[in-house]
Structure 1
């Protein structure tokens, strides 16, 4: 979630990019090349990949351990009562912490859907996006495996391994819509919280971005736990399914990939082309004239 920096006076004029490339009070970064061969030879790329792996491992460990631990202590229906709020806080709080820790290294994606949305917006290159997604998925598997090691195979399997499954009474269509909507909220928040225009007007935005993104994750969990257990992160869903590998973990796994990717794409289009009206892309064209 790369962010720009900048300060403007309180009476700065709200200038958008226009066709002749006139001045404005903020700077849009040029779109990242789809493939940047030079990037593959830089240590900074691989350092970022390691950061994504580690952050996703920590996230999945804490989040899935919260789900399994809650079920083990109460031995009741999954996420009942105050457990829903506690689990939502675990997911949202951990994302806020990890985005803060890794934003300056990798951008703090920790989610293939976020990476996909930023790829579509030309904020990351294709090789970087691919490596991030692989690192996120492997990190999620390792995080889920660590939960299994802590809680033991019996209890881990008994309490579902924290795997995302479609709740009884909900159709696949309902689950898909829930995942699309939830991921839209998350990725839209990411774009809004890292918008160069907003950062130029309020230098506190980069500091608040991790908190805002974490709150988005928290609120989406409260809304969608009863439907899908809340995926909105294909790596988290995939990692838990791989390690648990039982029950209905694989029955609707496609929902937790297709839904988040669609939601991320819609959020990108909405923010970049509707709210910002393609400012970055128009700016790039104007500079080339």
Structure 2
């Protein structure tokens, strides 16, 4: 569903004075909603019609206010000069900082060599099980609340994985993608400094950001990271970004389903194999965890896995796109 025309972007003097569209001369205020096709949850409500000539001025400034961007629009570098994009990237930084700190804090514990459980309860009576259980619950509850909070402005990505995926699906521009990832990574780093200050030492393990390479090859960790990210991206698009699901889930339910997806994936990948304590599915979070502790030799998998998953997902959506340009019929 696209909005044929958003009257709030028409010059003020031409807007009819009605109870629903009051003139902005003290008679009323309207929410500051920016059209953006890559918005989590509410993207169906704030998308412009690219074929309406009245929207050309807005699309000149914000090419990803409508889907079906051309390559020229995607790679239009003038977006780096947009003050709004820098503001939204700052908000993504704040969201990433909050998310990284609390989701890392609840899964942080002192480093200890990982061994197979020997008790009758097996892994289910060890920190290997309980730590990611609390982490999964935190992701399940915190993720949708953060999306609700930041989605009206920045779109509520909060995670470079989502930003990568929306870029490869051709619904956000390169400048927005670059600025968002930089903001999210900076937010993760700031949370890492705070985590170190709060915990008081660097010899720590953070759930989802640790592999015992003596027991688990790095390649195995990359495989898990790739498939975990692919699952997260696919389901997040299905329940919160795909406009074809607008009438099924809507902008209110979508963020909670995203939280369920992230919670289940981060929890369910954490205790199957000794030496591997779960997929990250958030490069900025692990970047923050490594700032708080130290950067291991395998830290690259938390970037390569999400990038590869986002690219693979984007190829499928190129064949079966989220949006269809009626002019192509």
Give the TM bin, normalised by the shorter chain.
0.7 to 0.9
Instruction: Report how far residue 35 of structure 1 moved.
Output: 2.9
Q: Among 217, 227, 233, which residue is 1:181 paired with? A: 227
Q: Which residue of 2 aligns with 1:31?
A: 69
Q: Please state how far the C-alpha of 1:207 moved relative to its aligned partner.
A: 0.8
CA separation of 1:129 and 1:79: change in aligned 2, threshold 3 A:
farther
Normalized per residue, which structure has more helix? 1
Structure 1 residues 279 and 135 mapped into 2: Cα distance closer, same or farther (>3 Å)?
Answer: closer
Q: 2:261 aligns with which of 207, 212, 216?
A: 216
Count of residue correspondences: 251
* Runs of at least 4 residues off by over 6 Å: 75-78
What SS does the corresponding residue of 1:58 show, helix, strand or coil? Answer: helix
Does residue 1:110 correspond to 2:158, yes or no?
yes
Q: Structure 1 residues 273, 38: CA separation in 2 closer, same or farther (over 3 Å shift)?
A: closer
Distance 1:163 1:100, change over 3 A: same
1:179/1:123 Cα in 2 relative to 1: closer, same or farther (>3 Å)? same
Q: Is the 8 A contact 2:283 2:302 kept in 1?
A: yes
2:85 aligns to what? Answer: 45
Post-superposition offset of 1:279: 5.5
Question: By how many angstroms is 1:267 displaced?
Answer: 2.4
Query: How much has 1:117 moved relative to structure 2?
Result: 1.0
Where 2:128 maps in the other structure, the secondary structure is coil
1:229 to 268, 272, 278: 278
Structure whose alpha-carbon radius of gyration is higher: 2
Q: Give the gaps of 5 or more residues in structure 2.
A: 1-37, 47-65, 115-125
Relative contact order, higher structure (CA 8 A, sep 6+):
1
Within-5 A mapping of 1:100-249 = 100-153=148-201, 157-160=202-205, 164-167=209-212, 168-193=214-239, 194-199=241-246, 201-202=247-248, 204-226=249-271, 227-245=276-294, 249=295
Asked if 2 retains the 8 angstrom alpha-carbon contact of 1:79 and 1:87, the reply is: no
Q: Give the C-alpha shift of residue 214 in structure 1.
A: 0.9
TM-score scaled by length of structure 2: 0.69
Aligned equivalent of 2:118 = none
Alignment RMSD, CA only? 2.7
* Cα deviation 1:12-60 (Å, max 9, x = unaligned): xxxxxxxxxxxxxxxx833272134554444321221111000000001
Structure 1 stretches of 5 or more lacking a match? 7-27
SS at match of 1:146: helix
Q: CA deviation at 1:76?
A: 10
Aligned equivalents of 1:172, 1:125: Cα separation in 2: 32
Give the superposition deviation at 1:177.
1.0
Residue 312 of structure 2 aligns to a residue in which SS? helix
Offset, 1:228:
4.8
CA distance in 1 between partners of 2:134 and 2:89 (Å): 30
Which secondary structure does the structure 2 equivalent of 1:160 belong to? strand
1:264-275 alignment runs, 5 A limit: 264-270=310-316, 272-273=317-318
Checking the alignment, whether the CA contact within 8 Å between 1:5 and 1:196 is kept in structure 2 is: no
Structure 1 counterpart of 2:136: 88
Structure 2 distance, partners of 1:239, 1:82, is 22
